[in-house]
Chain A
Amino acid sequence: MIRKLAISSAALAVMTGAPALAQDIAVKLGVLNDRSGIYADLSGEGSVVAARMAVEDFKAADKGMNVEIISADHQNKPDIGSNIARQWYDVDGVNAILDVPTSSVALAVADITTEKNGVLIDSGAGSTSLTREQCRPTTIHWTYDTAALATGTGAAMTMAGGKKWFFLTADYAFGHSLEENTARVVKDNGGEVVGQVNVPFPAQDFSSFLLQAQGSGADVIGLANAGGDTVNAIKQASEFGITQAGQKLAALLFFVTDVHALGAQTAQGLSLTEAFYWDQNDDTRAWSKRFMDTHGAQPTMVQAGVYSGTMAYLAAVEAVGSADDGKAVAAKMKEMEFNDPLFGKVTVRGDGRAIHDMYLFEVKSPDQSEGEWDLYNQISSITGEEAFLPMLDECDFTKK
């Protein structure tokens, strides 16, 4: 029913000449993320704030677009996320779903989005499967993926002399894929993996595992985990004098809110890769100040990615003249080139992978840091072509 309606309204839009109808384009966006669990600080309400700011900055109202934003908590559970997505598409008339951290939920929502001809602009999830094994024509993966993080941090640290790696791996699919991606990059750059240990998830105490890593004689301890696990591992590595003794820690998935939680004292010297940091240039500072005023914390790259992705989506909807045909909007996004104050130049590949620069940061020491959020020094930037995996031919939807 909805599908028929979508097709017929798309047909109507084509018949009557799309741009002329720009005066009454209705768009409904759904921000689906974790609003109460471990990813609530890095996505959560902040992502909704970011989406609202995008609608404001796009001047949607002036362009005759009536944009509405709704949000929900998927609790990091694929079944709950799927139910909300179905209801949003079927009952509430949502055109696009934004954010969706937690890869398992994102993959489930990606399937439903294709079935219902919506668009999924994923900012929060890390799995490369979204644009590879499980690529879909209506999936756009905006901010980062595990491969990009591995390339950024893994390659940079190996080239800087960290040849021997030991991994502390969260014992579930995400952790293993992060370890695998990073190990590959390490070996490609002339390094070796001297050991690894599978840590049950979630864990509070990492001291045993850290001592095993210390005993291995590795130069770098790769933390293939996320959130509270990474925070605890870093805190305890500092406590047990591991970082002071010269071994380096590589956080393979870490956000500015996590560094903030640790404080510069404990996190100093840590290397990490992100797509965005609030203090990069005047544009990011100005935007982040507005964000901070509303939300009370600095934006993470996931929240900034929701902003950037929403801007791009709205531009594509304007160009198509309607938000009803998700496939057409996604295809349009792949033809366009975007430039926004946060991510700079962004293009979207045929497989839905958004290509933009990534950055390698190092956490400042307490005497360098001038405020609670003054946390990173930028070490280098990595071009999108280097950072992300090459496209698989069967996922190039521009050719189909």
Chain B
Amino acid sequence: MFELLGIAPQVLLGQLLLGLINGSFYAVLSLGLAVIFGLLNIINFAHGALYMAGAFVAWMLLNYLGIGYWPALILAPLIVGAFGIVLERTMLSRLYHLDHLYGLLLTFGLALIIQGLFRNYYGISGLPYRIPDLLSGGHNLGFMFLPNYRAWVVVASVLVCFGTWFMIEKTRLGAYLRAATENPTLVGAFGVNVPLMIMLTYGFGVALAGFAGVLAAPIYSVNPTMGEQLIIVVFAVVVIGGMGSIMGAILTGYMLGIIEGLTRVFYPEGSAVVIFVIMAIVLMIKPEGLFGRPA
């Protein structure tokens, strides 16, 4: 059959699928960032730390309370989201009238503190978290062995991403949210509780990070630095997609996962930087991002 640059089509298909799986994490995380930035104008640097916290909360639920993976998939994002709401009420809400930079610095500091606390109490080696029994094992697709859990990651992330997109772009609640970002005073005058809505939005964005953390827990080691490594890539994804663009963040997440996966076959040494190279090119050609509106 055909061979592309010396790579057998089976291998290529396998790598495309793996790229899609990694892209799922990028998509869920960059979606949360895009929602928060789009509606609150906060560059949430604590996102990686909260993703890590989601994985840790799942681990704690299992080891301290005996609560398994499926309930944790709901509970951990709720707990992380509630924590996010506390952060928003006590700290972030004081910064809305200031420049973006202040929010960035505050959340960056928070990220370091959260990460430091987990490192202090749980060490650096990481903690084991098993794949739930229902999803252990896998299927041989002919071109590769696909673990059931990875397939679930793709399904779960697609559902969550498009559910969120639908809610924000197509429902009445979403319309209020978008209106509140355009003109909070006017929306408030119509009797909508704008501060409450913003608080819940931040909680929701952060809960998405917690959700991604629970999804990641059985695959990667539950480790205080797991978010730190991912967050920079995810920011690049958001910049490429266009800051604040919901659909842009989702599509770019999946797309870049696939591009990164292909780089791992053709030039593995470059796979850590390929996303940043793309970011640089996009910023030069279309500074507002692939899906962003010109400012």
A binding-site residues for B, Cβ under 8 Å: 36-42, 171, 197-200, 202-205, 207-209, 211-212, 215, 227-228, 231-232, 235-236, 239-241, 245, 257-258, 260-263, 265-266, 297
Shortest CB-to-CB span from A378 to chain B, Å, is 22
Shortest CB-to-CB span from A307 to chain B, Å, is 20
Known A-B contacts A231-B126, A240-B147; A199 and B22 likewise in contact (beta carbons under 8 Å): no
Tell whether, in the assembled complex, residue B229 and residue A215 are in contact, meaning their CB atoms are under 8 Å apart: no
Tell whether, in the assembled complex, residue A236 and residue B219 are in contact, meaning their CB atoms are under 8 Å apart: yes
Q: Is the CB of B178 closer than 8 A to any CB of chain A?
A: no
Select A215's contact among B11, B149, B219, beta carbons within 8 Å: B11
Give me the 8 closest cross-chain CB pairs, A-B, nearest first: A200-B272, A208-B264, A263-B128, A261-B125, A41-B125, A261-B126, A41-B123, A241-B145
Interface string of B238-265 (1 = CB under 8 A from A): 0000000000000000000000010011
Tell whether, in the assembled complex, residue B126 and residue A204 are in contact, meaning their CB atoms are under 8 Å apart: no
A200-B268, A200-B269, A239-B149 known, 9 other contacts, Cβ within 8 Å: A41-B123, A200-B273, A204-B230, A205-B22, A211-B14, A228-B124, A232-B221, A239-B131, A245-B145
**Chain A residues with CB below 8 A from B145, complex form:** 240-241, 245
Tell whether, in the assembled complex, residue B18 and residue A208 are in contact, meaning their CB atoms are under 8 Å apart: yes
**Chain B residues with CB below 8 A from A258, complex form:** 125
Shortest CB-to-CB span from B74 to chain A, Å, is 23
**Chain A residues with CB below 8 A from B18, complex form:** 205, 207-208, 211
Known A-B contacts A208-B18, A209-B268; A37 and B124 likewise in contact (beta carbons under 8 Å): yes
Q: Is the CB of B138 closer than 8 A to any CB of chain A?
A: yes
**Chain B residues with CB below 8 A from A208, complex form:** 15, 18-19, 261, 264-265, 268, 271
Tell whether, in the assembled complex, residue B11 and residue A228 are in contact, meaning their CB atoms are under 8 Å apart: no
**Chain A residues with CB below 8 A from B225, complex form:** 38, 228
Known A-B contacts A208-B265, A211-B18; A261 and B128 likewise in contact (beta carbons under 8 Å): yes
In the complex, residue of chain A having the shortest beta-carbon distance to the beta carbon of B272: A200
Interface string of B119-134 (1 = CB under 8 A from A): 1000111111011000
Known A-B contacts A207-B18, A208-B18, A212-B265; A265 and B271 likewise in contact (beta carbons under 8 Å): no
Tell whether, in the assembled complex, residue B221 and residue A239 are in contact, meaning their CB atoms are under 8 Å apart: no
Chain B interface residue count, CB cutoff 8 Å, equals: 38
Shortest CB-to-CB span from A75 to chain B, Å, is 12
Shortest CB-to-CB span from B221 to chain A, Å, is 5
Quick one: which of B195-238 are within 8 Å of A by CB? 219-221, 223, 225-226, 229-230
Known A-B contacts A40-B124, A204-B226, A228-B126; A211 and B144 likewise in contact (beta carbons under 8 Å): yes
Quick one: which of B86-137 are within 8 Å of A by CB? 119, 123-128, 130-131
Known A-B contacts A200-B271, A202-B229; A231 and B125 likewise in contact (beta carbons under 8 Å): yes
Shortest CB-to-CB span from A290 to chain B, Å, is 20
Shortest CB-to-CB span from B263 to chain A, Å, is 9
In the complex, residue of chain B having the shortest beta-carbon distance to the beta carbon of A265: B130
In the complex, residue of chain A having the shortest beta-carbon distance to the beta carbon of B11: A215
B binding-site residues for A, Cβ under 8 Å: 11, 14-15, 18-19, 21-22, 119, 123-128, 130-131, 138, 144-145, 147, 149-150, 219-221, 223, 225-226, 229-230, 261, 264-265, 268-269, 271-273
Select A209's contact among B149, B150, B264, beta carbons within 8 Å: B264
In the complex, residue of chain A having the shortest beta-carbon distance to the beta carbon of B139: A241
Tell whether, in the assembled complex, residue B128 and residue A262 are in contact, meaning their CB atoms are under 8 Å apart: yes
Q: How far is the CA of A208 from the CA of B138 in the complex (A)?
A: 16
Tell whether, in the assembled complex, residue A36 and residue B119 are in contact, meaning their CB atoms are under 8 Å apart: yes
**Chain B residues with CB below 8 A from A38, complex form:** 124, 225
Tell whether, in the assembled complex, residue B269 and residue A171 are in contact, meaning their CB atoms are under 8 Å apart: yes
In the complex, residue of chain A having the shortest beta-carbon distance to the beta carbon of B19: A208
Of A36, A209, A227, A235, which is in contact with the most chain B CB atoms at under 10 Å from its CB? A235
In the complex, residue of chain B having the shortest beta-carbon distance to the beta carbon of A215: B11
Shortest CB-to-CB span from A374 to chain B, Å, is 15
Known A-B contacts A41-B124, A171-B269, A204-B229; A231 and B221 likewise in contact (beta carbons under 8 Å): yes
Select B138's contact among A41, A203, A209, A241, beta carbons within 8 Å: A241
Shortest CB-to-CB span from B143 to chain A, Å, is 10
15 contacts between A and B (CB under 8 A): A38-B124, A38-B225, A204-B226, A204-B229, A211-B15, A211-B144, A228-B125, A231-B125, A231-B126, A235-B221, A239-B138, A241-B138, A257-B125, A261-B125, A261-B128
